[in-house]
Amino acid sequence: MRELLNDIHPKRAISPAAAVTDNTAFVSQIIDLAGYESLLFIILIGALADADATFAVTMEHGNQANLSDAAAVPAAQISGTLALAGFTFAADDQVRKVGYLGSKRYVRLTITPTANAGNAFVAAVALLGNPRFAPPPNPPV
């Protein structure tokens, strides 16, 4: 069947916002995987005005709702790579993706600019999949 609506649950990770003009990190919401077997972060890159900025992506996970037990996600528990999810000033209006394969309940994504002195527009969506109880709510909550 060519239908995806009832197999995914999008959540806000990093909201669209005013441009970051320094090296302030973009930190996602803490994503709760309760009721879902998979997680994919989709990074939406807008205009990047700086001519030498780089943007590194990291992912943390844990079992505490506030991620007080946060630890870096090991490479073996990542689908794709954090390096491929990262980008440079040349990635205007592109998209990146990175998945989580671990068993912890909570996950957070961070995108950290380096050498950014211009406007950088970045947002992200967390796409939860393989719901234990289908279909997931629509509209998403």
pLDDT of residue 3: 84
Whole-structure pTM over 0.75, yes or no? yes
Rg of the Cα atoms in the chain: 15
pLDDT at 1: 62
| Tokens standing for residue 30 | 């803490």
- Helical spans, DSSP H, in the chain: 82-85
Best CA proximity match to 39, nearest among 77, 74, 85, 93: 77
Secondary structure (DSSP) of 35-98: TEEEEEEEEEEEEE--SS-EEEEEEEEESSTT-TT-EEPPGGGEES-HHHH-EETT-TT-EEEE
Q: Reading across the β-sheet that carries 78-79, which strands appear in turn? A: 8-14, 120-131, 36-48, 95-100, 78-79
How far apart, in whole angstroms, are the C-alpha atoms of residue 36 and residue 91? Answer: 31
User: What are the pLDDT tens digits along the chain (141 aa)?
Assistant: 678 899 999 999 999 998 889 999 999 999 999 999 999 999 999 999 989 999 999 999 999 999 999 999 999 999 999 999 999 999 999 999 999 999 999 999 999 999 999 899 999 999 999 999 888 988 888
pLDDT at res. 134: 86
Q: Report pLDDT for 2.
A: 78
